[in-house]
Amino acid sequence: MDQWQSLQGLLAKWFHIQPGEINEMLIDDFMVWIDEANAQIESQNKQSK
């Protein structure tokens, strides 16, 4: 699996975004969602420590 597919999988799992919706996103929008997912995951990890 390449990095692009891994990032798509992250959005699908974390935000329940459908693959078709991910494929239609502009790169800038995609990266905003990835940044948000990373921020939420980081926050969740800090809370669980």
Question: Residue 26 gets which letter from DSSP?
Answer: -
Residue 11 CB coordination number (10 Å): 20
Low-confidence ranges of the chain (pLDDT < 70): 1
Residue 48 CB coordination number (10 Å): 6
| Residue type present at position 17 | I
pLDDT of residue 49: 75
SS3 of 18, please?
coil
Q: How much of the chain exceeds pLDDT 70, in percent?
A: 98
Could you tell me the maximum CA-CA distance found in the chain, to the nearest angstrom?
Answer: 37
pTM, two decimals, is 0.83
